[in-house]
Amino acid sequence: MVRLAQYSHRIAVAPGKTFIQEGEPANDFFIVTAGHVKLFTLMPDGRRQITGFGQAGDFLGLASGTTYAFSAEALGPLSLCRFSRTGLGALRREFPALELRLMEEASRELVQAQRRMLLLGRKTARERLASFLLEQHYRSPTKAVAIHLPMTRTGIADYLGLTIETVSRTMNALQREKLITITQVTHITLLNLPALEILSRGG
């Protein structure tokens, strides 16, 4: 892995900074080394769809042709490893294992994209929230039932295809039903994992 350094640069990104702009030439490829990012697309009137949240270890920029198909913004302090796309070809020849790893990552993301189509196309607000909380739980390094949400209610809404009001109401409804506890706005404890799982699958 020593030789990797010649192809990559470590960069720090300020909170809130949009470091990938939809439609711009896709020259680089990134790996998140610390922090959280949101990937999103915008409509002319401002409607926003967050297509994914990335955290340490995630690849950004796989899904592009010649221009980026999405924008990316740092949710907090962020560290990235940047690779030039032109260099990626050379990298692949030098590290054949990377080829396989890239393919695995693409397949994983494709499966996740299909799950999200089901969520966005067919699930109710309650089911979306339950699915979201379980996903955050599953992705947390500790797998503890106490989870921290790095994004705001607006972020959750734009991820789940809802409004912030619906997210807020539904979260509080889940708390009233003793499925979760909202310790702070960004700190949720999952009280009943099996019930949340049943809810997230739609019964």
Partner DNA sequence: CGTCATCTTGAGTTTATTCAAGTGGAGTGG
Partner DNA sequence: CCACTCCACTTGAATAAACTCAAGATGACG
**Residues contributing to the site for DNA (CB under 7 A):** 124-126, 152-154, 161-169, 171-172, 182, 184-186
Region binding a second copy by CB under 8 A among candidate stretches 97-105, 129-137, 142-150, 178-186: 97-105
Of the candidates 5, 16, 57, 99, which one interacts with a second copy according to CB under 8 A?
99
Tokens of 30: 């990134």
d(CA 121, CA 138): 22
Q: Exposed, middle or buried, 176 (CB in 10 Å: 0-12/13-18/19+)?
A: exposed
Q: Which amino acid is at 12?
A: A
Smallest gap, in angstroms, from Cβ of residue 186 to DNA? 7
Alpha carbon of 142 to those of 14, 40, 52, 148, 197: distances in Å? 26, 27, 21, 11, 19
Q: What's the chain's length in residues?
A: 203
Collapsed DSSP state (helix, strand, coil) of residue 68: coil
Residue 111 binds to a second copy (criterion: CB under 8 A): yes
Q: What is the DSSP letter of 156?
A: H
CA 150: distance to chain centroid?
11
Of the candidates 18, 98, 109, 126, which one interacts with a second copy according to CB under 8 A?
109
Of the candidates 5, 12, 62, 185, which one interacts with a second copy according to CB under 8 A?
62
| Contacts with 140 (C-beta within 8 Å, 6 or more apart), sequence order | 147, 148
Which of the listed partners (DNA, a second copy, none) does 137 bind, with a CB threshold of 5 to 8 Å by partner kind?
none
CB nearer to a second copy: pick between 7 and 40: 40
Which of the listed partners (DNA, a second copy, none) does 168 bind, with a CB threshold of 5 to 8 Å by partner kind?
DNA
Smallest gap, in angstroms, from Cβ of residue 16 to a second copy? 22
Interface residues with a second copy (CB under 8 A) are 41, 43-45, 47-49, 51, 62-65, 69-70, 99, 102-103, 106-111, 113-118, 120-123, 158, 160-161, 201-203
